[in-house]
Structure 1
Amino acid sequence: LVNFVLRPRRMTCTVSYASEEQAERALLEGGSFQGHQFDISYAENETAPAQKTEEWVDPDVQAELSALQSGWRNEYATGKPLKPTQSGDGAAGGGGSSMLLAPPVAAATASVSVKNPPATRDRSPAQLRDLENVMRRPAHTSEEKFRVLDARDKLLRLNGTQQKLAGATQGHCPDMCPEKERVLREFQRQVAFYELQPGSDELICHERALKQYSRSSADQETPLPHELRNENALHMTMSYLMHEIMDISERQEPQSHLGDWFHFVWDRTRSIRKEITQQELCSLGAVKLVEQCARFHIHCAARLVAADPSVFDSKINAENLTKCLQTLKYMYHDLRLKGVQCPRESEFRGYIVLLNLADANFLWDISQLPTELQSCPEVRQAIQFYLALQDTNFVRFFQLLMDEDTSYLSACILVA
């Protein structure tokens, strides 16, 4: 033995061996001491000396540990093979990091550390067993179901069953909202009004639930494939939003619900855009989804222009619209390189011009487009609006605005 560190608060201890072979032997032959059973696993490169043991350890125990430590170092040379003693095997595990769960009686948890633990250290048997036990438990409540699903995901990550291929993870969740998120939001009472079961104020309707947007963070794990919706599920989600939710603002609903309506649709469309980015989708179907998100923000720019700032923030809406259009520009370019022509590109090129009437640099951007896009009606009409403003010819501007060729969304951009 080279070193022994006792941690009474954690009910663990770490034992260091001179060689990896001795540590592996301790891992195989250890696990019991004076009738007490405990678990052994590799430590995460722990090399803390015994004198750094927790402060409240009995001074007599600390003195004895220090004496033992110096005795080990004097009696054995570092390079000699060491034979693990009974107490060493009983209180420690093989070379790497180990956290042992000892019974509350006198046996402490033990760990063993070596410089180069085997690759299996990331998957301790005790941790795998705990997760498997959680998965076998009956789950009746939403919280219990979440625990089971969370254990399943952790087990998948530990077992490395997720094949790490080059490129982005491709989702295969067929639902509008993954099951794990549905049960999590139900027991945390984070169910939106539009997702509740009829007659209930807390139970989620699994058929109407839509995946919520979550901000990316440094400590966020890479999503598993079953946590990401495939392209068909994304289209189903958008169709549901458009046919069942988006027109609620035009019905005879109380005005107080307008803010909830906007934030719900904005959050769910933002979630769709995030998953398109996560999966690096670039197809006509993905383009159509982003175009629908952009149309929503254009409509809201005019529909909610007079709303209270607590209900609708025009700056944030404009930022999201700009992000949608920027994504579309990249998608149009990438698909054009593949020889794919997007059927609605001319429409959105016109919107981009209308949003930049105060900046003449858009003329250079237009000159870089293919000839058929430069001469399309939408772009030519947008240039007419620009020329009317440049000449301060407001009569001409409003005549163009009232022209039957001016689309509803173009008018929304101009009046917002």
Structure 2
Amino acid sequence: MESSTRVGKSGFRRAQTVRPHPVSARSRVIFENSSSTRDSDPNYESRELLISSNLVGTCPDMCPAKERIQRERLRDLAVFERLNGNPVKTSPSLAVKKFCRTLSSNEVHSSDLRPTLVLQNTLKYLLSLMDSSEHPFEVVHDFVFDRTRSIRQDLSMQNIINEEAIEMYEEMVKFHIISHQKLAKRRSGPDDSSSLHYLNMEQLTKCLLSLYEVYDINRRLQFINKHEMEFHSFYILLHIGYKIPIMVNPWLSKFCCEENFHDTFMVDFIK
């Protein structure tokens, strides 16, 4: 993939041009069920979402047309998806596929899944909303939070574990880290964001675990990502001072003790 990048106010990389190229062989490797990460975390999303290694997405838009039409009929459009503010009208350039908690192999078709390039462009669009001042951060976070879960779901269903997938997981981890700090500041304010803060932390942990799983598979294929150690360090910073189960490499957990975790330090670390 060839792209030129710039950094937005929120610290996310923004690609200005993206040229597709053939998907590498890594994207077709099936996640192994024997992973220690999966065994230690029964809620680990990759095991829940993995349906078929043969699924290849063909949806050209951020949201499948079938879902878009259904949500228009049900008036289930987020404020960012409404065409000219109309709660029953959207467009392919505004609607973004929602996360679906319960799926079966009989319900999923290639037309429901977005290929790598569409997922990349969808993520770039979602992260661009982080710089928006038109709506409260809680509103922005709620929308991006759900739609990035859907991106992770599409990645898992198609077993996409190539370099592009790694970059997407890394950007989503950064989204949750920045949200962690912003929501923490609001917990003592007039709006109680404690539940949002907790849910964000939960998804940050799951997103990190998914990223580590992809790192591990790529390592076995003789590919080591240049950001791997940086993102492993986030797990340490995230759990300093907490008694936690060993969900990733055991050596990480030995660092997570005795100290207080500082939100601002972890955010500064990614800038």
TM-score where L is the length of structure 1? 0.46
Residue 304 of structure 1 pairs with residue 163 of structure 2: no
CA separation of 1:205 and 1:180: change in aligned 2, threshold 3 A: same
1:227 aligns with 2:86: no
Which letter does structure 2 place at the counterpart of 1:246? M
1:408 aligns with one of 258, 267, 270: 267
CA distance in 2, matches of 1:235, 1:336: 23
Partner of 1:236: 121
Q: Secondary structure at the match of 2:223?
A: coil
Is the contact made by 1:269 and 1:293 (CA closer than 8 Å) also made in structure 2? Answer: yes
- Aligned residue in 2 for 1:114: none
Pick the aligned partner of 2:158 from 270, 279, 283.
Answer: 279
Per the TM alignment, residue 183 of structure 1 is displaced from its structure 2 partner at its CA by 1.1
Counterpart of 1:313 in 2: which secondary structure? helix
The 5 Å alignment of 1:261-272 reads 261-272=140-151
For residues 153 and 245 of structure 2, the distance between their equivalents in structure 1, rounded to whole angstroms, comes to 29
Deviations 1:44-93 (A, max 9, x none): xxxxxxxxxxxxxxxxxxxxxxxxxxxxxxxxxxxxxxxxxxxxxxxxxx
Higher relative contact order (CA 8 A, sep 6+): 2
Give, as a single letter, the amino acid of the residue that structure 1 aligns with 2:74. Q
- 1:340 equivalent in structure 2: 223
Give the total of aligned pairs.
Answer: 213
Q: Which amino acid aligns with 2:68?
A: R
How far residue 325 of structure 1 moved from its aligned partner, in angstroms, is 0.9
Aligned partner of 2:46 in structure 1 is none
CA contact (8 A) 1:168 1:278 kept: no
Q: Residue 303 of structure 1: CA displacement?
A: 0.3
Structure 2 residue aligned with 1:109: none
DSSP 3-state at the match of 2:249? helix
The answer to whether 1:177 aligns with 2:63 is yes
1:307-322 alignment runs, 5 A limit: 307=187, 308-309=191-192, 312-322=195-205
- TM-aligned CA deviation for residue 238 of structure 1: 0.4
What residue is the counterpart of 1:365 in the other structure? Answer: 249
Change (3 A) 1:199 1:275: closer
Q: Deviations over 1:111-142 (max 9, x none)?
A: xxxxxxxxxxxxxxxxxxxxxxxxxxxxxxxx
Deviation at 1:167, TM superposition (A): 2.6
Code of the aligned partner of 1:297: H
Q: Displacement of 1:361 after TM fit?
A: 8.3
Query: Which residue does 1:188 correspond to in 2?
Result: 74
* Structure-1 separation of matches of 2:82 and 2:117: 24
Q: 1:299 to 1:197 in 2, by over 3 A?
A: same
CA spacing shift, 1:202–1:167, aligned 2, 3 Å? closer
Q: Note if contact 1:295-1:409 (Cα within 8 Å) is conserved in structure 2.
A: no
Q: Unpaired runs of 5+ in structure 2?
A: 1-51
In the TM superposition, what is the alpha-carbon distance from 1:179 to its structure 2 partner?
0.9
What residue identity is the alignment partner of 1:266?
F
SS, match of residue 198 in structure 2? helix
Larger Rg over CA atoms: 1
5 Å-filtered alignment, 1:5-404, equals: 167-217=53-103, 221-243=106-128, 245-248=129-132, 251=133, 253=134, 257-305=136-184, 306-307=186-187, 308-309=191-192, 312-358=195-241, 359=243, 365=249, 367=251, 390=258
CA distance in 1, matches of 2:65, 2:86: 19
Label 1:224 to 1:330 Cα distance change in 2 as closer, same or farther (>3 A). same
Structure 2 CA distance for partners of 1:292 and 1:341, relative to 1, 3 Å: same
| Contact kept in structure 2, 1:259 and 1:312, CA below 8 Å | no
How far does residue 409 in structure 1 lie from its aligned partner after superposition?
4.7
Aligned equivalents of 1:261, 1:331: Cα separation in 2: 28
**Aligned-residue CA RMSD in angstroms?**
3.1
Deviation at 1:227, TM superposition (A): 1.0
**Percent identity over the alignment?**
29
Alpha carbons 2:63, 2:95 under 8 Å: kept: yes
Match of 2:35 in 1: none
Q: Is the 8 A contact 2:53 2:157 kept in 1?
A: no
The 2-side partners of 1:217 and 1:282 are apart by 21
Residues 309 and 274 of structure 1: CA distance in aligned 2, closer, same or farther (over 3 Å): farther
SS in 2 for 1:267: helix
